[in-house]
Amino acid sequence: MRADATHPFTIRRYERLASTNDTARALVAEGVPHGTVVWALSQSAGRGRQGRSWVSPPGNLYASVILRLRAPVPRLSDLGFLAALGVADALDGVPGLRGRAQLKWPNDVLLEGRKVAGILPEAMIAADASHAVILGIGINLREAPTGTPYPATCLAANGAADVTPERMLDALLLPALARWLARWEAEGFEPARRAWMDRAYGLGGNGRLRSGDGWLEGRLIALDQDGALLVETAAGPRRITAGEVAFGPAQAGGADGVASPDAPAAACP
């Protein structure tokens, strides 16, 4: 840790990687300590949720945080929510963005209904049988992908054009993530659950949920104490533990619309 550090993480910086999550997995196998962060300026094979790719040109943030925790395995699912809250708090620290970030189940971060950041949590068991969690975090600072099945945006399109990946990671995101991890270790998931609900996008309204092979529709009620989404459907209450949420009508060709923005997106320069 640097003498002036505001977080306990150790950052390893790379010019370009295939995927910071893949490099993090290799480092876990080599035995790197808890709190190692893999940061790349660009990725050639960035990975997203649901088997999607994550477009990763220079200018955005691509980082994977390695955590070696003693938490029981079921509680490891909490960490994706902590990462999303860390990103939302980090965006609060950017002039003009305070209070604007919203969260979409399970771990997406939105600005004005458009996805600005995604989290790819991955758990692995190292050779010494210890558990590790890798929190892959991508934040669109200057660029946002086009042609995605969901509307995307970047900070630059939201009046915050001067945030570098280094500042976002070192000064904003990692301190925020450290605060959430410390609180979770001291108080459990409940404070994070409440904070997530306060920022939740679309709660109380109707959404479509990809669950298993199909989609179901219902009213999004709450996040429960295990991170599952409680949904009221025509067939009764459902508890969704995996999948993703979409809003608005299904898109043609089976594409899964994710957020229904209120306004047209400003272009990311």
Q: Is 191 in the site for ligand BTN (CB under 6 A)?
A: no
β-strands 36-43, 10-17 pairing: parallel
Q: Pick from 54, 81, 150, 184: which binds ligand BTN (CB under 6 A)?
A: 54
Largest CA distance in the chain: 57
Instruction: Kindly tell me which of 118 and 175 has the beta carbon lying closer to ligand BTN.
Output: 118
21 binds ligand BTN, rule: CB under 6 A? yes
CB 218 within 8 A of CB 232: yes
184 binds ligand BTN (CB under 6 A): no
Q: Is 59 in the site for ligand BTN (CB under 6 A)?
A: no
Pairing of strands 102-104, 244-246: unpaired
CB of residue 13 vs ligand BTN: minimum separation in angstroms? 14
> Is the Cβ of residue 44 or residue 225 nearer to ligand BTN in the bound state?
44
Q: Which residue has the tokens 């989290």?
A: 119
Task: Tell me the residue length of the chain.
Answer: 269
- Would you say 237 and 249 are in contact if contact means Cβ atoms under 8 Å apart? no
The pattern of x and - marking residues 112 through 151 that bind ligand BTN according to CB under 6 A reads ------xxx---------------xxx-------------
Round to whole Å and give the CA distance between 161 and 267.
12
Interaction site with ligand BTN (CB under 6 A): 19-21, 43, 46-49, 52, 54, 62-64, 108, 118-120, 136-138
